[in-house]
Amino acid sequence: MRTVRDATIDVLRRCGVTRLFANPGSTEIPFLVDLPDDLEFVLGLHEGAVVGMATGHAIATGQPALVQLHTTAGLGNAVGALATARVNRAPLVVLVGQQDRRHLAMEPFLAGRLEGLAGAYPVWEHLPVRPQDVPGAVRRAFHEAAQHRGPAIVVVPMDDWSAPFDPDLDVAGPLAVARARRRPGPDVEGVARLLDRAESPVLVVGAGADEQRAWEALVTLAERLGAPVWQEAFGARAGFPQDHPQFAGHLPAGRSGLRAVLAGHDVALVVGTGAFRQYVYEPGPLVPDGLAVAVISDDPDELHHSHADVALLADAASACAAITERLRPRPVTAVRRPSRAVAPPGAGGRLAAAHVFTALAERLPRDAVLVEETPSSRPELHRLLPARSPRGFVSAAMGGLGFALPAAAGLRMGDPSRPVVAVLGDGSSLYAVQGLWSAARYSCGVLFIVLTNGRYAIMDQLAGDAGGKPPWPAFTDVDIAELARSLNCPARRITTHAELVSTLDEVLPALATRTEPLLLDVAVAADDPTTQPGGTA
């Protein structure tokens, strides 16, 4: 007798699934016991690490990753990570366990009130009416996750898996849903005319343009326009090669800074993101007077919350190529200023984050994937470590901590051909440190660089900016290297520039083929001595 579980596993195979990211619970046992050998079980020691790994895997492969969570406790623990997956445009299919359907009305132990628990972050959420409907619901979840690029949740009561499956009663939709690409054609005429008439156009790019076709189309467009290119503020991925002469930098995340950057331009074309992402609210207009804004994105949500005169729902690469064909060439003026490397600290001097970034910049392979979660030093990282290839920079679009460490492991699992380096603050690393065990267990050869100062440096900075004293203590007694070793991840403590350079020279040349993770616990100053006079070279 074929069961609902058998039919669902067939669906997973047809969808190309080979891995299941999970932390098991009792309501998932009927599905997990005797899992077939062609479906690898990837264990995470906390649901945040589970979803983080799956998110990285989905970003690396471009295909939905499969996750299983344990009823209320598992889904509840994972909500923040699911929100990050949604904002990072990562397609996930999430199976959530539920108590036995036959006594669910009595609210037995571990019965979950699951509807709406993840808020509005799932792109689709469904509890099948009958056990018979589970395989079809899982099939649809793959379509929903891929189409809307986010987590699609299917809640499955535990007894459904063993129920008989009658294929004649399978009323689900198609196994595959193809998306036809088309050239925007006349749809881009208005944007092209706006740009062609502009005296001083500017481009703004975002995470939605982080793929080879879009990079190529945007480079051609920027050179045809002779325009500077800015990256969106707090972008989770790079939308343009950041070592290109037309790359101008990262937009400020406040209105006054944004107006200053865009002043003197009459048209801004925003591609692959909304217009414009902000952080701390500032009064005053968003953009300078006289600036027309056009937005191109294949995400309708980004268009609807944009401050724009024209919004075009389209594939970024196709739209930009079509616009370029309609534009007259202009003189090109390079706008990028090469970043000044930071000189090594003098004898007895303290390491700073910028010293680490400079050493990395001199050695990091061009195709490396850099995963970032170091809020207090992110501007320096952007300045010194430009993204040079698609998927060369990955961060949490949501802003919450706990993404980078497990995501780096998932990125490496999803694409083992590219070296992966994760740069984290020590405070950030503690939000999902369990992911180190998974990285070691599944041979993810990631280099984890933890900048250790024993405090939440960004929060200390914000408290100081607010003119107040932070109530939270430092945590200098936490030993990140020892914690990593306890999770079976090799670790080294780095306290000098010579140790840093020697270790990077040893590890980075072979990082692409490395199968064992390594954590570098790098002691850095709580303040940044490189910002003092004479700190750069």
> What architecture is the 353-531 domain classified under in CATH?
3-Layer(aba) Sandwich (3.40)
CATH code at 185-325: 3.40.50.1220
Exposure letters 268-305 (e unless 16+ CB within 10 A, then b): bbbbbbbbbbbeeeeeeeebbeebbbbbbbbbeebbee
For the whole model, what pTM was predicted?
0.93
Predicted pLDDT of residue 331: 85
| Residue in the block written with tokens 């699992």 | 413
Predicted pLDDT of residue 474: 83
Task: Name the H helices within 208-309.
Answer: 212-225, 255-262, 300-304
Predicted pLDDT of residue 533: 35
Predicted pLDDT of residue 33: 95
Pick the CATH number of 4-169 from 3.30.300.30, 3.40.190.290, 3.40.50.970, 2.40.50.100: 3.40.50.970
pLDDT one-digit tens code per residue, 235-285: 999 999 999 999 999 999 999 999 999 999 999 999 999 999 898 889 999
* Residues ≥6 apart with Cβ < 8 Å to 289: none
End-to-end CA distance of the chain: 73
**How many Å apart are CA 403 and CA 408, to the nearest integer?**
8
Spatial CA neighbour of 236 closest among 255, 250, 247:
250
| Range(s) of the chain covered by CATH 3.40.50.970 | 4-169, 353-531
Predicted pLDDT of residue 173: 65
- Kindly give the parts of the chain with pLDDT less than 50: 532-537
| Range(s) of the chain covered by CATH 3.40.50.1220 | 185-325
The structure tokens listed for 485 are 């070793």
Helix orientation angle between 189-197 and 316-325, rounded to the nearest 10 degrees: 60
Predicted pLDDT of residue 182: 59
Predicted pLDDT of residue 536: 39
Predicted pLDDT of residue 175: 65
